[in-house]
Chain A
Amino acid sequence: MSGTRAAVPPRPFLLRLPGLGLLLALALAWRLSEGDLAALFAPAARASFADFARGFWPPASSRDFLLSLGRPLAETVAIAACGMALALALGAPLALLATSPQVSAALGGRAGKGRRALQLAARGLLALLRSIPEVIWALLFVRAVGIGPAPGVLAVGLAYAGVIGKVFAEILDATPRQAAAALAEAGASPARAFLFGLFPPARPVLLSYALYRFDCALRTSAVLGIVGAGGLGQQIELSLKLLRPDEVATEVLLLLVLVGGVDLASVWLRGRLERRRSLLPEGAAGLLRTAAEALAVAAAVALSAWLLDLSPAALAGAEARAGALQFLRGLWPPDLGLAALRAEVLPACVETLALSVLGTALGAAGGLALALAAAHRLRAAGGERDAWPGRALALLLAGLARAGLAFARTLPELLWALFFVLAVGLGPFAGALALGVHTGGVLGRLYAEVLEEVPPGPVRALRQAGATPFAAAVLGALPQAWPQLLAYTLYRWEVNIRASAVLGVVGAGGLGRALHVSMGLFDDHRTATLVLAVLALVTLVDLASGLLRERLGASFTSRASTHP
């Protein structure tokens, strides 16, 4: 940059146009979601926080209580397993259709108008499936096929098929395709070139993503109970409503253990794939082992289906079909009366949007604070000569921050919302707080990872120049990590708009409340309108976030290139 232009220093970010816009949006979001610091710090709220916090320890451990959790826990796992099986069965083929034309060209397929149309149709279907939040799918299926685990399985299956299909297609697009192209050159058909040339390099990534999704499915299925879809969620809701924090503690711990178990399994499986010397098992022993594993997975899914009483007859029998058909017919036409739109749908949309913005902002702020504490590698950079008590304290702090983040993200938004509704009362503010806490847990972990991956040179230099660890982290690492942190935050906003649309189910504001009411009144036309509103809102936020990310990416790369 030239010296003359540097004479006028740029204004700080918050005083420039994007910063001012952000501040305005946050202020609006605060107002529209009825943000109220007084409610948060009112004696009643403080008392209920304190009671709850104190009640958490020790977790309930009576024999009867633990035994009573066996069935819901098994149901939660079973819903997640069956839901994932359905999601994979639907999502994987759609992913194949949704891959970019370059992939099918590399596989030796001939690009035609038909292929392109199929690709667009697959992408559209995937977008539709994932734009409707799981809980809304569950609400719809509860209405269509009745209360029980079946709607939970269908909800997880459809919503996750949308995500899995999109991400699998992205993974396949990003996989190197020379090996597959070489097979096609030697005359292999597209299917053979895919199986032997493209699938093997993509396999570890696909597997690790599927396992991550299973992890999410466990959490989701634990929540779906709240809307009548079985599992652990129903128990947690009950314990919260009965004000029994010790039971909640046990239930959450169990959920943590489950999710942690899946994490460990994922690490182990990926390691095993990495160590393998060949695609196919080598000897008879390896072959047997692989067959046994495949059989075990199939058996687990079958057992889950049996546990949940999912039979083809129950799902697609005459009675179920009639109920579903009647419900579907009721959805059409949607209620598009202008008065209703203006009086109810539009305000609910605005509230949902405000809720999602405020929740994301709260989560980003809290997450960043905890991430700075949790990013221990960052703290350690240049701190080799610190005295040991300081180092031990930092280590302890990092451990605590990580535990806090894990706890915040293990409980889904809806469960946090149940809690905050009790603490600060019904309304969107409770929803924003719930969203903020869960988002803080998720973003905090991602932020910490980014901060630890940042090249430590600047931080070390600042420390050696005498900066405190905190100042060194803020000034040395944050500017480098900024674009990535913003991108993650925007991605999370896309997730949160979906979450905000359902928080109303437990009384925490937004479109969910209206949806809950219209479902309760069997007003199917209204329900259809509201689902369409959710779709529109989600699509709008996805577009806005994508646009912002693109702009940010562009501005950051251009700045990076002007500052060598």
Chain B
Amino acid sequence: MSVAAVAAPPAPEALAFDAAGRSYGAFAALAGVRLSLSPGEHVAVIGPSGAGKSTLLGLANASLAPTAGSVRVLGQDPARLSAPALRRLRARVGTVHQRSHLVAQASALENVLMGRLGVRSALATALAVWRRRDREEVGALLDQVGLGAKLFERVDRLSGGEQQRVAVARVLYQAPELVVADEPLASVDPTRSAEVLELLLEAARGRTLLLSTHRLEPVLPFFPRVVALRAGRVLFDRRRGEVSAADLERLYRTGPEAAPEVAAPEAT
């Protein structure tokens, strides 16, 4: 069964933020964001910590609901969906987190198989552990991320970089239309981050990708479009070639308005 079979009528945009905002009590983590991504587009979100990157990504993968404006994910408004419809939508969005959010006690194989829990029952997922066809499929994906030998390894015995590879393999197995990656390189050894990024880009080929990062040099060259957030607002949204050093200086400058009064609760 292909995931595309349950897709909604074709939408022109993979993601559409219309004056979207999200507040936690009196604190506005994100306000008045207008943003649209066409299918297949790869976009990087940059900005200082507390700028609202994680909140933006939480809205994009339908795990958060906006408190102002609206967000359409793959053409649907998550706020208006019934619980089962929301789950079907979420099954079409894959997420890679900053730190590994894998199940520590489970093997790499089991963690990857959990990628399809949105469309497969618990029993079928458990049975897949012993089915040769599923094992081979997962084995091939783990081979692809360079972890073929660790199929039966518990993930809490893997390094940070290896865990991120498992997470990438899980997204590959989920086969989503939209991939959201929240600082995927933050817990990866810097010498290994280029490889993990490459794998992630490979996994996102042909899909829409929204990735946040605070490290610019290793990441930006691979993204044609850059969105900059500062204090919960979009500072600029440009082609990569048009981003100037002055723009970045303006983005990361520590000014009076740079320090938010309240520590931003990151939506992780």
Measured CB to CB, the residues of A under 8 A from B are: 108, 110, 178-179, 181-189, 191-193, 195-197, 200-201, 203, 276-280, 282, 284, 287
Contact = CB atoms under 8 A, between A and B. Distances in A.
A203 to B, nearest CB: 7
Contacts of A179: 101-104
Given A185-B63, A189-B87, A178 B97 contact: yes
B240 interface: no
B193 to A, nearest CB: 21
Interface stretch (B32-40, B46-54, B88-96, B206-214): B88-96
Contacts of A203: 105
Contact of A183 (B99, B109, B114, B152): B114
5 contacts: A179-B101, A181-B63, A182-B97, A197-B114, A278-B154
Interface in B114-164: 114-115, 117-119, 121-122, 125-126, 129-130, 152-154
A285 to B, nearest CB: 12
B70 interface: no
A279 B87 contact: no
B129 A188 contact: no
Given A178-B268, A189-B87, A278-B154, A195 B122 contact: yes
B55 interface: no
B121 A192 contact: yes
A201 B103 contact: yes
Chain B's interface size range is 35 or more
Contacts of A287: 130
A187 B118 contact: yes
Contacts of B177: none
B119 to A, nearest CB: 7
B263 interface: no
A246 B90 CA distance: 69
A278 B109 contact: yes
A191 B125 CA distance: 13
B119 A278 contact: no
Given A185-B61, A186-B95, A187-B87, A192 B117 contact: yes
B87 A188 contact: yes
Contacts of B115: 186
Contacts of A184: 63, 90
A192 B91 CA distance: 13
A181 B130 CA distance: 25
Tell me if B's interface is mostly helix, strand, loop or mixed. loop
Nearest to B99: A178
Contacts of A181: 63, 101
B105 A186 contact: no
For the complex of A and B, 5 pairs with smallest distance between CB atoms = A187-B118, A187-B91, A188-B117, A278-B107, A182-B101
A110 B154 contact: no
Interface in B202-230: none
Given A196-B114, A200-B104, 19 more contacts: A178-B268, A181-B101, A183-B117, A184-B63, A185-B62, A186-B90, A186-B114, A186-B176, A187-B90, A188-B118, A192-B125, A196-B103, A197-B114, A277-B152, A278-B106, A278-B154, A279-B110, A280-B130, A284-B130
Given A108-B87, A277-B152, A287-B130, A185 B104 contact: no
B8 interface: no
Contacts of B1: none
A196 B105 contact: no
Contact of A191 (B88, B99, B110, B122): B122
A103 B211 CA distance: 27
A341 B183 CA distance: 67
A185 B95 contact: yes
B110 A280 contact: yes
Contact of B83 (A110, A195, A276): A110
Contacts of B101: 178-179, 181-182
A196 B122 contact: yes
Contacts of B153: 277
A278 B151 CA distance: 10
Nearest to A203: B105
Interface string B253-268: 0000000000000001
Nearest to B113: A196
Contacts of B63: 181, 184-185
Contacts of B121: 192
A256 to B, nearest CB: 34
Contact of A196 (B89, B117, B152, B176): B117
Contacts of B176: 186
* Most chain B beta-carbon neighbours within 10 Å: one of A110, A188, A197, A201: A188
A208 to B, nearest CB: 14
Nearest to B90: A187
Contact of A197 (B93, B94, B103): B103
Contact of A200 (B90, B105, B117): B105
Contacts of B102: 179, 182
B104 to A, nearest CB: 6
Given A187-B91, A188-B117, A277 B97 contact: no
A189 B87 CA distance: 7
B106 A279 contact: yes
Contacts of A110: 83
